[in-house]
């Protein structure tokens, strides 16, 4: 029976140095040869998923921006774009609390260098990976953005941070990764909603779904999938949400998980 497997990227398919284990490449190849479907399911926006080695693994679809963008066989079949005027109000609110936004869309990532200096790991990863599709929030782009979601550096006073989150909570889901980093996603969207929509469109029964992830924005899909699999290097919350914990991503975690459930041999 055909199944669909949804893979997180960071900490699951690769690490932040973009290292993909050979066992992961082999596992996905075998998975698809066995007639199953492989999907990326990432918090990254589509503009941030462009690495040729990653895409060369072979995926039947991409669910990204925490469910706000879905592609099947290279065609966009669902997209949630934040209204530009509403995005402007959101950014003004965020910045009033000293929180630094990164705007994420299907074609561009928007980040201001004055907010993310050369010593900022977050900004440097974007500069390395996004290339010419990384542009400024301000200046000629201001108010013209096409975005699905945002990520933010939240290294401000906790009281300010929580007050800001409270003011956003009617319209957005806030995914807190740490005191310093969060994702801001339009309400009603997460990796699970994207996963289930993709299954509906390709005719996969949700009872034949597997999700593999490692962090806070994976919790919804780990619990919504028929089988949720946490990486051995995952957070405690990811492991608690999962049905099964495999080995770490660089200890053949994906290969071992797919073999454990009989999806590959």
What's the pLDDT tens digit per position in 158-202? 999 999 999 999 999 999 999 999 999 999 999 999 999 999 999
How many angstroms from the chain centroid is the CA of residue 220?
12
CA distance 174 to 171: 10
CA distance 146 to 108: 8
- Higher pLDDT, residue 126 or 118: 126
What confidence score (pLDDT) does residue 120 get?
Answer: 84
Q: Do domains 4-79+189-260 and 84-186 have the same CATH topology?
A: no
Q: What is the mean pLDDT of the chain?
A: 97
What confidence score (pLDDT) does residue 1 get?
Answer: 84
What confidence score (pLDDT) does residue 118 get?
Answer: 83
What confidence score (pLDDT) does residue 59 get?
Answer: 98
- Residue that the structure tokens 């003011």 belong to: 167
Going from N- to C-terminal start, the domains of the chain cover 4-79+189-260, 84-186
- Walk across the sheet containing 100-104 and list its strands: 134-135, 109-110, 100-104, 149-153, 181-186, 172-176
Position 152 pLDDT exceeds 80: yes
The whole-number average pLDDT for the span 237-245 is 98
- Walk across the sheet containing 69-72 and list its strands: 75-79, 69-72, 61-64, 37-41, 4-7, 209-213, 227-230, 244-245
What confidence score (pLDDT) does residue 22 get?
Answer: 98
Architecture of domain 84-186: 2-Layer Sandwich (3.30)
What confidence score (pLDDT) does residue 84 get?
Answer: 97
- pLDDT tens digits for range 71-118: 999 999 999 999 999 999 999 999 999 999 999 999 999 999 999 988
Q: What percent of the chain has pLDDT over 70?
A: 100
* Domain 4-79+189-260 fold: Rossmann fold (3.40.50)
What confidence score (pLDDT) does residue 122 get?
Answer: 85
- pLDDT tens digits for range 193-209: 999 999 999 999 999 99
The whole-number average pLDDT for the span 258-262 is 98
**Please, what is the end-to-end C-alpha distance for the chain in angstroms?**
15
What confidence score (pLDDT) does residue 119 get?
Answer: 77
Give the predicted TM-score (pTM) of the model: 0.96
């Amino acid at each position: 029976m055909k199944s669909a497997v949804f893979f997180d990227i960071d900490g699951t398919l690769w690490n932040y140095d973009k290292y993909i284990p050979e066992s992961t490449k082999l596992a996905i190849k075998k998975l698809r040869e066995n007639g199953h479907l492989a999907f990326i399911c990432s918090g990254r926006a589509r503009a941030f998923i462009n690495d040729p080695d990653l895409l060369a693994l072979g995926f039947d679809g991409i669910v990204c921006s925490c469910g706000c963008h879905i592609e099947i066989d290279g065609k966009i079949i669902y997209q949630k774009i934040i209204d530009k005027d509403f995005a402007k109000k959101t950014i003004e609110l965020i910045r009033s609390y000293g929180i630094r936004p990164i705007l994420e869309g299907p074609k561009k990532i928007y980040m201001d260098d004055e907010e993310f200096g050369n010593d900022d790991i977050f900004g440097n990863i974007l500069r390395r990976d996004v290339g010419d599709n990384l542009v400024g929030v301000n200046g000629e782009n201001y108010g013209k953005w096409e975005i699905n979601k945002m990520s933010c550096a939240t290294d401000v006073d906790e009281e300010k941070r929580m007050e800001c989150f409270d003011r956003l909570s009617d319209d957005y889901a806030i995914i807190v990764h740490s005191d310093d980093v969060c994702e801001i996603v339009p309400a009603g969207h997460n990796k699970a909603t994207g996963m289930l929509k993709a299954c509906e469109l390709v005719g996969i029964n949700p009872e034949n779904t597997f999700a593999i992830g490692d962090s806070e924005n994976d919790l919804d899909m780990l619990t919504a999938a028929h089988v949720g699999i946490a990486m051995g290097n995952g957070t405690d919350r990811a492991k608690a949400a999962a049905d099964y914990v495999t080995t770490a991503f660089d200890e053949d975690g994906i290969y071992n998980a797919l073999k454990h459930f009989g999806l590959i041999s």
